[in-house]
Structure formats: structure tokens, C-alpha cells
Amino acid sequence: MTTTATPLPARIQQFEDRAYGLFLHWGLYSLVGQGEWYRHHHRIPLDTYGALFQKFTAEGFDADALAKFARSVGFRYICLTTRHHDGFSLYDTRGLNTFDAPHSPAKRDLVAEFVTACRKHDLGVFFYHTTLDWWEPRFDSDWTGYQAYLRDSVRILCSEYGRIDGLWFDGNWSRRDRDWEEDALYGMIRELQPEAIIVNNSSIGNLGAVGHPQLDAVTFEQGLPAKRAAGARYVAKEMCETFNSHWGEALNDYSMKSPATLIETLAACRGAGANLLLNVAPRPDGSLPAYESAALEIMGRWIERCAPCLYTGRPADAAMRGRNFVLRSGDDHFAFIFHVPISNNMHLSHSERGDGLQTVEGELPEIAQVEWVDSGEALDFTQDTAKGMLTFRATPNPYGSQHVVRVARLRSR
């Protein structure tokens, strides 16, 4: 585990142990199926967009089934868009306005259902909440009044749903010249939810920016996390990534990522000491789409079979060639190797060779055995502890399998 001058807060350690989160972008924009920025980019008049409110039924939203599925495929937390930029809230705004799910035809506090289900299935509860608002008029006419409205909204989330594990804000990048009164917002959260992780998305143009001192994690929106700068304040890292080219439902977006690509992304995130927050856009009724669900099941099988160390593993002080890396978990180390070919199948394999000799350089304990996590097959190895070098032979994937990223356990004596 990375060492620091002072112990990490327990909430950051727990957040890093969660490793893999499900992001859910769902709201009125889902009914149209043209992405979460539909109203803005298509310049839809406020009253026209607002008419979608009367069509929001949430008839397919089953929070318990969703949470059960998420846990079964390897997720350890879920972040739900309690309010996105269109200003529509999935929670009961308790008099702040009536532009929320309980006042819609759904007539349900969907956030309350979400929290109950996550707690039942041992998943961390994270609330996405916009700071940018296209619906609330004070965002353009009364900045101070809007900041009070924003805090009142977040206060509801912090006080009406029991303990929550994190708040994920998004939108400060829209007006960089304004005072977002972050001291007041984060101070309120620390008072009401002292152990909650606080995130404020720096957006695509400013990956990994540390920001306000109260923030616990930096974001890498659709960009692989970078190494932490030496001497910098310790904060957790999280990459948020989409399945296609949108966050919200987009029916004509066919740019779906493969399970193999996402497995590599998840592995690379953990190799950099970061979490992966992987987005799925629920269908208009709140149910999960078929392709994404099937892909998540494949990823879940890979985690269970190949890399359960992803959760507790942290980057080790050891190096391998290319994208390969080493995690340390407990007394053991785990070498992640990309693009190992298939035995007796090279005529169908177009990837780089990843088998053969693999070298790990760095501070390792004396190793007793090297073995594939997926099969337990022992691998030949040699170690020179004086030189800080271990070499082992990575055998190919057995015919009939391709693990995408194969993991070898370096067992300590």
C-alpha cells in the first residue's frame, strides 16, 4: 500500500477498497434517447422539455434487482444521478420545487428505494448531484440565491437517507469565474455526513485536478489516471468511463465498448491506484439495457476467476515492461500481464505476444511460488533478491480461453 506521512482517513481507504463502481445516468433525458445533454445541444425550449415530466413513470426501476445484479458482477458501490443538469430530481425535494420524481407519474422517491437496496446488498451509496442547473432560474438571475438552493438540495440528501458513502458533484467547470461557495457546501456535508467521500468532477479538460482541500478524490473523466505527483496531498483517484459515447440513453449510439476493452481499462485503473466508475445508461423505464448487462456479467466472471485481488490490491514498488504492472495485497504480489496469446491458436491471434519470460524489478519479499490465479498452474521462476529481480515464464492461455489480462500470484514464503 502507498505510504504517506500521516495515516489516510478511513473513508479514503474504504473508497479505494471498493475499487469498481457503477455509474447510473437516468432522468427525463432518458425518455428521448438522445443523450443526457439533449435539451442543451438541441436547444429545446424549457416548456417543451418540461412536458417530459408527465411521461416519467419509472415502471421498470427495480432498485433491489439492480443492486443485487450489481453486486453479483463485481461492483462495490453505485453512484446515481439524483439530479442532473436538467434540474429534475429523483428524490423528494421537500418543498424546494415540484420538479421531482414523487410529483411525477412515478409518484416514488427513487433515491430512497436506491439507498435501501444498496444497503441490503452491501454496496456503497454515492449520490451524483449537479451544480449546474438549466431548470432553476436563480442559476442565471440570482447567484447567491442559487447557491443557497443548491445547499438546501444537498442538505436533504445528507439528512433524509441515513448514512451515505459519497457525494459526486459535477458542473463547477461551467462557470469557472464564479464563487461556488465550496467552503459552505463541503462544510455542511462534513457536519451531516463526516465520513462521506466528496468528489467534484474536474471534467475532461482538467483531468486529475486536485481542487478544494475538502475533496477526497480527483476525477479522470474518460481518461486513464496518471501517477500521483511526488509530495502532493494524498487524494484517491477515480476514472469515470462510458459504455459508448454518451452518459445518458442514446438509441443511435452504436459505439459500444467490448468487455475486453473494459477489462483492460479496469485493470489499468487499479494499476494506477485508481477506482473505475463505469457508467450504464438505464432505459427510459429505469431497467438496465441488455448489451451492457451481458458485458458486465462477462467482466464479473473475469474479476471472480482472474483478479479478486483488484479490491484490496495497491500498486507495488515494482516495475514490469509495457502496460504490465504489479499489485500488492496482503503478503502476496500479483503480476498483471496484458495480451497473453492462446496456446496452439496463433493463426487466430493478432495481439502482441505476452507469454515467455516476464521480469519484475523492485522490492519483493522472498517468493515461494508463482502461479496463474485463474488455474493455479505453477510457473517456473527465478529470483535474485539482492538485485531486486524476479523472472518467471508466463505460459499461454490454454486453448479455449483468452483472459485478456492474465494475473499471476507471487506467493511469499
Q: Please count the other Cβ atoms lying within 10 Å of the Cβ belonging to residue 142.
A: 13
Same domain, 218 and 296: yes
Euclidean distance between CA atoms 255 and 5, whole angstroms:
44
Euclidean distance between CA atoms 148 and 137, whole angstroms:
13
Q: 157 and 89 in contact (C-beta within 8 Å)?
A: no
Q: Output the pTM of the full model.
A: 0.94
Same domain, 207 and 58: yes
Query: What residues make up the domain containing 345?
Result: 316-412
Same domain, 92 and 116: yes
Q: Which one of 277, 310, 343 terminates a domain?
A: 310
Q: What is the dihedral of CA 153, 125, 183, 131, to 10 degrees?
A: -50
- Which cell numbers in the block locate residue 77? 458501490
Phi, psi values for residue 340, rounded to 5°: -75, 130
Euclidean distance between CA atoms 241 and 255, whole angstroms:
13
Euclidean distance between CA atoms 237 and 19, whole angstroms:
10
Give the bridge partners for 171, in sequence order. Answer: none
Euclidean distance between CA atoms 83 and 105, whole angstroms:
17
Has residue 396 been placed in a domain?
yes
Same domain, 26 and 146: yes
3-state secondary structure at position 41: helix
Q: Which residues of 32-63 are buried (b: 16+ CB within 10 A; e: fewer)?
A: bbbbbbbbeeeebeeeebbebbeebbbeebbb
Same domain, 294 and 389: no
CATH number for the domain spanning 347: value is 2.60.40.1180
Q: Which one of 295, 310, 325 terminates a domain?
A: 310
Q: In what order do the strands lie in the sheet with 314-315?
A: 314-315, 325-329, 332-338, 405-412, 367-372, 378-379
Has residue 97 been placed in a domain?
yes
Same domain, 381 and 348: yes
Same domain, 241 and 341: no
Has residue 238 been placed in a domain?
yes
Q: What is the dihedral of CA 362, 365, 367, 373, to 10 degrees?
A: -70
Report the domain count for the chain: 2
Same domain, 320 and 304: no
Same domain, 294 and 345: no
Euclidean distance between CA atoms 278 and 310, whole angstroms:
15
Has residue 59 been placed in a domain?
yes
Same domain, 258 and 392: no
CATH number for the domain spanning 192: value is 3.20.20.80
Has residue 3 been placed in a domain?
no
- Which cell numbers in the block locate residue 4? 504517506
Q: Which one of 275, 295, 310 terminates a domain?
A: 310
The pLDDT tens digits along the chain (413 residues) read 444 456 789 999 999 999 999 999 999 999 999 999 999 999 999 999 999 999 999 999 999 999 999 999 999 999 999 999 999 999 999 999 999 999 999 999 999 999 999 999 999 999 999 999 999 999 999 999 999 999 999 999 999 999 999 999 999 999 999 999 999 999 999 999 999 999 999 876 777 688 899 999 999 998 988 876 666 788 999 999 999 999 999 999 999 999 999 999 999 999 999 999 999 999 999 999 999 999 999 999 999 999 999 999 999 999 999 999 999 999 999 999 998 989 876 555 554 455 589 999 998 999 999 999 999 999 999 999 999 999 999 999 999 999 999 999 999 98
